[in-house]
Chain A
Amino acid sequence: MNEYAKQTHISRSWIIDRIFLGLTLGEYFKRLITPFNIGAGIIILVGLALIGIRFTEGLGAVTAASQEQPWGLFLGWGLFAGVPLSATGFVLGTAVYIFGIKEYHPVVKNAILIGLLGYLFAVIFLLVDLGRPWRLPYPMFVSFGTASVLFLVAWHVALYLTCQFLEFTPSICEWGGWKSLRKRALAITIGLTIFGIILSTLHQSALGAMFLLAPGKLHPLWYSPYIPALFLISAIAAGLCMVILASLLSEWFLKDQADTAYLVSLDKITLGLGTASSFVLITYFAVKIIALAHGNHWNLLMTSYGYLFLVELFIFTLLPSFLFVFAGRSGKVGLVQFTALLTIIGVIFNRLNVSLFALNWKLPHRDFFDWREFLILLAIVTIQILVYRWIVLRMPVLREHPEFKDEHMVTYT
């Protein structure tokens, strides 16, 4: 065998090992045919067909958007709810690398991956929703609307996406076997984490600040000068709770991809993150009350929008913060996980309220969303889950790579 043949042989085995999990092509595709994958495939095909209609007949053909209510589920879910739920990398990165809480280290890679994919798919939702998605780079390179809060959001989401990709690069390098690149990527962890904190505090709150421009349109119970702070605080809670929930799901469905160190650490981490969430949620509750008092809108609480607000305030904010304290004290991991789910639903509910239900509340007649919009959303989320699974099945996310096991705290030397 000559040198050249050896090289191609190596690269082929690299592909088979890394991409096809060491199986032959036939075996690999045979393994792909599972009920879950078939269901996911159907959902994705339907969604892609509808996205095809959107790009041939226009947004009006698949959404309920109108001249009065220009934004629907794509932005309400994909951007306004998707970005706070993707604060996972930001909160865990800060806890582990900046505050030095080493006990959370086993879940930090998973948190960064979930954050990275969350932002990536927020951009994908944006591409579906923008009138002219091919102009997405315009605010970066062509024309600068510097007085716009959305300009800040666009820049920060783009930069933070890059930042999180670099934060995840060590795992990619371990998978690919690129040692020197991995070392270089690890060396900038602290810088990236601090950069990520700057970007996250600013754009998480900026998503709320976008609505400051519409005082007459957003219902007074949600419109408040405190909305940037409310968005940031609830994003921290959402990030923490997403890590709790993702840890549970990984225990259920991806156990074979995790190492023992990861699995045995989860209960303790879950309890710790639950306690942290209780502090964040009680702060969130307090700021929400201050905002309510500041606006002096107590009289609006007994209206139909008031009931929505009260559900948010008591069922999705105060109740979970108490449940977290109770579960943390009595060591009930299952209750922490349930409460995390409750909190996540609450944050999604809040973002949909602000961007959809309580916006334009004075209009007499409104359509919130079209069933086709919902199917597209379902398809994109399904793709997101499949991409996540593809990565976790290959890269060391829920485990340490055997070759680099002892140097995982390399950033501290």
Chain B
Amino acid sequence: MKLDRRNFLKGTAATAGALFLGNLASDPKQTYAAQPIGSKSDHFAMLTDLTRCVGCRSCERACIKANNLPLPKVGFFADVSVFREKRRPDAQNLKVINSYENKKWKGPVYRMVQCNHCAEPACASACLVGALKKTPEGAVIYNEDLCIGCRYCMTACPFYIPAFDYFNAGSPAIRKCNMCYHRIVNGMTPACAEACGVQAITFGKRSKLIKLARERIRTGTDRYIDHIYGEHEVGGTDWLYISGVPFEELDFPMDLGTTPLPEYTRDFLSVVPFVLTVWPALFGGIYSISKRREQIAEGMDQKKKEDTKR
């Protein structure tokens, strides 16, 4: 038996079939995988001046109201007992204020924790159904109607921000700050910025906020340290912070680097089309070789048999 036309065609068809199926299956990935998940255009952003914050938590209350979340039992202005522990945003609270003792000033420094709205968000690139999106306005928003509850966004977020309803079996959702997107698109300021009585939170275009932050650092003599947190961290965030004490003393993660996190997986995804196109040819070829070798061996066996017969 030898490699005749029929067998050749069969083998070719099998290889072509695998190639076709492989490409069909991967079509969406190939087309979009290389596209960046965010954009570097001038978004709306927020600037938090931690030297101004007095820890009144009006922003927390405004946030709860703007997002129709249940009101907590503890009071807001008077009750400082909440500062005894470091809190984090969860399913009921999208923004929290924590208090830090420091060497620079007598009073505590207050730090607010909420989504930082990365320019190229890891959570949005992690989401396999596109429930998390970076909007052209700058906010990273969440669509509960698409979420399947895999919680990869929580693993991906370098700031540990997205929270999940662990005690809701029917419709558990991810909860995080959406920069009051519903207010922004109607020309309003995010609720927390509007509620702040000491102008610790400023809303505006990112380029303007960076200029403002630089101006404050320059004119404030020793009031500020020379660092705008969020200007470059993980490729830049749309929530910026300036502070009087080093950010590491306020539990800001300092080892994030300046590379947008989605870039780390983009390289991997770009290998996909290569595997899809080269593997069928490669393994189809190996198959043909091993099959041919076998046919030759079979032929030799038959020859031997014939020889012994003679």
Q: A147 near B262 (CB under 8 angstroms)?
A: yes
- The answer for the CA separation of A412 and B18 in the assembled complex, in Å, is 18
Q: B146 near A142 (CB under 8 angstroms)?
A: yes
The answer, among A68, A148, A216, for a CB contact under 8 Å with B255, is: A216
Question: A217 and B18 in contact (CB under 8 A), knowing A138-B146, A209-B265?
Answer: no
- Least CB separation from B133: chain A residue: A145
Measured between C-beta atoms, what is the minimum distance from B104 to chain A in Å? 25
The answer, among B150, B262, B268, B280, for a CB contact under 8 Å with A131, is: B150
Q: Is A311 an interface residue (CB 8 A)?
A: no
Residues of A298-332 at the interface with B, using a CB-CB cut-off of 8 Å, are none
Q: Is A146 an interface residue (CB 8 A)?
A: yes
Q: B129 near A131 (CB under 8 angstroms)?
A: no
Residues of A179-221 at the interface with B, using a CB-CB cut-off of 8 Å, are 188, 190-191, 193-195, 197-199, 201-202, 205-206, 209-210, 212-217
Q: Is A349 an interface residue (CB 8 A)?
A: no
Q: What bracket does the count of chain A residues touching chain B fall in?
A: 35 or more
Q: A138 near B148 (CB under 8 angstroms)?
A: yes
Q: B261 near A215 (CB under 8 angstroms)?
A: yes
- The answer for the CA separation of A194 and B275 in the assembled complex, in Å, is 12
Q: A139 near B128 (CB under 8 angstroms)?
A: yes
Q: Is A2 an interface residue (CB 8 A)?
A: no
Question: A144 and B129 in contact (CB under 8 A), knowing A56-B169, A215-B257?
Answer: yes
Measured between C-beta atoms, what is the minimum distance from B245 to chain A in Å? 21
Q: Is B90 an interface residue (CB 8 A)?
A: yes
Q: Which of A40-48, A57-65, A114-122 contacts B (4 or more CB under 8 A)?
A: A57-65
B-side interface residues, number (CB < 8 Å): 74
The answer, among B169, B257, B283, for a CB contact under 8 Å with A94, is: B283
Q: B14 near A191 (CB under 8 angstroms)?
A: yes
Q: Is B287 an interface residue (CB 8 A)?
A: yes
The answer, among A202, A213, A214, for a CB contact under 8 Å with B272, is: A202
Chain A residues with Cβ below 8 Å from B294 are 100, 412
The answer, among A56, A147, A214, for a CB contact under 8 Å with B155, is: A214
Measured between C-beta atoms, what is the minimum distance from B174 to chain A in Å? 8
Chain B residues with Cβ below 8 Å from A60 are 166-167
Q: A198 near B129 (CB under 8 angstroms)?
A: no
Number of A-B contacts (CB under 8 A): 214
- Least CB separation from A189: chain B residue: B14
- The answer for the CA separation of A148 and B147 in the assembled complex, in Å, is 14
Chain A residues with Cβ below 8 Å from B14 are 188, 190-191, 194
Chain A residues with Cβ below 8 Å from B90 are 67
- Least CB separation from A227: chain B residue: B268
Question: A145 and B268 in contact (CB under 8 A), knowing A136-B148, A198-B280, A214-B156?
Answer: no
- The answer for the CA separation of A144 and B171 in the assembled complex, in Å, is 21
Interface string of B278-297 (1 = CB under 8 A from A): 01100110110011011000
Chain A residues with Cβ below 8 Å from B272 are 152, 202
Residues of B142-194 at the interface with A, using a CB-CB cut-off of 8 Å, are 146-152, 154-156, 158, 160, 163-169, 171-173
The answer, among A132, A149, A188, A215, for a CB contact under 8 Å with B148, is: A132
Q: Is B253 an interface residue (CB 8 A)?
A: yes
- The answer for the CA separation of A146 and B273 in the assembled complex, in Å, is 13
Q: Is A135 an interface residue (CB 8 A)?
A: yes
Q: Is B122 an interface residue (CB 8 A)?
A: yes
Question: A98 and B286 in contact (CB under 8 A), knowing A201-B279, A412-B291?
Answer: yes
The answer, among A145, A212, A412, for a CB contact under 8 Å with B129, is: A145
Q: Which of B27-35, B50-58, B59-67, B69-77 contacts A (4 or more CB under 8 A)?
A: B27-35
**Which residues of A approach B to under 8 Å, CB–CB?**
54-61, 63, 65-68, 70-71, 94, 97-100, 129-133, 135-136, 138-139, 142-156, 159, 188, 190-191, 193-195, 197-199, 201-202, 205-206, 209-210, 212-217, 225, 228, 359, 412
The 6 A-B pairs of least Cβ separation, nearest first, read: A131-B149, A60-B166, A100-B290, A146-B32, A70-B151, A151-B128
Q: List 18 A-B contacts (CB under 8 A).
A: A58-B166, A60-B166, A131-B148, A132-B148, A135-B149, A139-B148, A143-B131, A145-B127, A146-B32, A188-B14, A194-B14, A197-B279, A202-B275, A209-B268, A210-B155, A213-B125, A217-B155, A228-B268
Beyond A58-B165, A67-B88, A198-B276, 4 additional pairs, beta carbon < 8 A? A58-B167, A68-B160, A135-B146, A144-B32
